[in-house]
Amino acid sequence: MRLLFFFLLFSALAAADFGSTNSIFSFIPSNASINATALSFSSNPITEGNSFDVYLTLQNNGGMSALSYPTVFLYSENTLLDVIVFDASVIGSSSGVVFAKSYNTALSPGNYTLIGNASFDDGGTNYSTNSITNYLIVNPASVGGQPSGGNSGGDFITTPDVPKQLPDKIIPSKNEGFEITSALVLKELIAGVPSVESIKIKNTGFDAGEYSFELKGLSDNWFVLSPEKSILLPGEERSVNVLFKVPEFALPGDYLLKIIVNGKESGFTVLRVKKKLSVPVVSRKIIVDTKNSETIVVLELNNFGGSIPSLSLKDILPKQVSSLNPQVSFIDLPGEIDSSRQLNWVVKDLQAGEIRTISYKLKAVLEDYADYSDWTVQQLVVQKTASLEEVVRVDDLHLPISKPGQEIQVQTRIFYSGLDSVNARIYFELPESFILTPNQASLDLLPRGISSASFGVKIPENAEGSYSATLVVETSLGVVRRNSVLIVSPSTQGIDSGFLLYGAAGVVLLVVGWFGFNSLKNKLDSSKNKKERKPFLEHLKNALKK
């Protein structure tokens, strides 16, 4: 009965038409709110003994910037094996940052869990928000792909083109008569992206001689050599160009190539294949110049995603190189060297599809090429480009449901996360017969502030149904458009609204009277029952006294 009462009451009130609204609202916290949104790897699965890159994305959806501490935890079942720590970084309001770091794994084959954590400092208080999980598979290393009978020398084992665990030592042999003076000892490539490199050969003999050049360890369709044969005069040096054509679906990981000159082993090149990602991929090239006793390091930023306003890159010298305390010379983009011998660069305006090169050289050469293969990027921090809709955000759009001929008030709130004030022209795009008052509003959007605007909308007499209503915010940064729906409900013709209201009140009084009558009837029945039970109760009372 009570449910019936409330149903009748609600129906009566609805018939009286007290109105309703169509609103769009998104909550924006006034403080920082940083969350981990993505955790990915440069390859998965990986081969035992190979390195891979870890990418952790943090997003600040709050209204203030904060210092973040990105961290990734590596687990095997419930056992914590390692912690990958990135440098602390300030993340601005409505901004995102991608942190990348190379990780040299000594993991055994199996399945592993990596958990990315987003913690940040807001006003002296440290917060740890959500974590994001991903899973890594480590496959056993393939047998072969390296010199048989030890670390160098002997016949080369031919195996399928799959990544392999590199030997502990990779030491090239000296070839009398022809010497490799500029050796490509490490080349990181993007699968499916061709790349041309060169290896220099010098005739160290006293007579002119012919040389033949070969690469063994991979299928012939992975590279093209030019020239494969040539004649060199005494003391003459010549480059052999190598066009690498790594198949698009090649497995990411390490591949070892053996350089053969005149049938004799003369050197090695480690190919490290990476895959395309939406974030910049750093590929390294290391050249050993034996003639000048120099090691040349080339870092390529391959941007396969959108334009990036700023990113920072940190490289660290392997301990085998750092122990020699070599002189460091920047070749193109100047960088900084800190007290721990870390090299730091800031790269501005990296465009979509662009490849930016950073190179430097060291006055030192390592004998064992395996030490060069462990040289990975320490950290890459990419400031994600915030869309205009994230900088100028419509977080509240209030559209009352109207009737034909009615004038309604439309309200909106705009959150602006920029650093400098900007003027905005705000208006609605409505059907032609609808009248907007005023036809536009001008607001100064303050940094990390919320601004409001209100408009009157006159509904035509013959309007009925749903209509498109687009809020337009024009600024010097661009134009933001927020689509919504303006609902015009049918008018109630032939029935006076006052009559409906009185009718609704009558229904309510009728229902209340019905409940009152039933309550009085129940009381009378209860009183009657008491009179009938009185003699029996007195008899029972006397019996108990005896």
Q: What is the CATH number of the domain that holds 444?
A: 2.60.40.10
SS (H, E, C) 428-489: EECCCCCEEECCCEEEEECCCEEEEEEEEEECCCCCCEEEEEEEEEEECCEEEEEEEEEEEC
* Regions of the chain where pLDDT drops below 70: 1-30, 105, 123-126, 129-130, 142-160, 384-390, 419, 448, 491-546
**Rounded to whole angstroms, how far apart are CA atoms 458 and 405?**
7
Backbone angles phi, psi at 154, to 5 degrees: 85, 180
Backbone angles phi, psi at 397, to 5 degrees: -135, 110
Assess if residue 206 is contained within a domain: yes
CB 199 within 8 Å of CB 259: yes
Assess if residue 315 is contained within a domain: no
- Residue among 209, 250, 207, 244 nearest 226 (CA): 244
Assess if residue 29 is contained within a domain: no
Question: Are both 420 and 536 inside the same structural domain?
Answer: no
Q: What's the pLDDT at 390?
A: 65
Per the structure, the complete domain to which residue 243 belongs is given by 178-308+321-333+347-373
Question: Are both 110 and 245 inside the same structural domain?
Answer: no
Residue 281 identity (one-letter amino acid): V
Question: Are both 85 and 182 inside the same structural domain?
Answer: no
Cis peptide before 227 (omega within 30 of 0): yes
Question: Are both 474 and 531 inside the same structural domain?
Answer: no
**Rounded to whole angstroms, how far apart are CA atoms 118 and 59?**
9
Question: Are both 532 and 479 inside the same structural domain?
Answer: no
Q: What's the pLDDT at 499?
A: 45
Q: Which residues pair with 67 in a beta bridge?
A: 90, 121
3-state secondary structure of 294: strand
Q: What's the pLDDT at 521?
A: 52
Q: What's the pLDDT at 153?
A: 40
Q: What's the pLDDT at 30?
A: 59
Question: Are both 243 and 325 inside the same structural domain?
Answer: yes
pTM score of the predicted model: 0.63
Among the candidates 90, 109, 139, a domain finishes at: 139
Question: Are both 303 and 418 inside the same structural domain?
Answer: no
Assess if residue 507 is contained within a domain: yes
Assess if residue 543 is contained within a domain: yes
Report residue 157 as tokens: 């084992």
Q: What's the pLDDT at 124?
A: 64
Assess if residue 159 is contained within a domain: no
Assess if residue 26 is contained within a domain: no
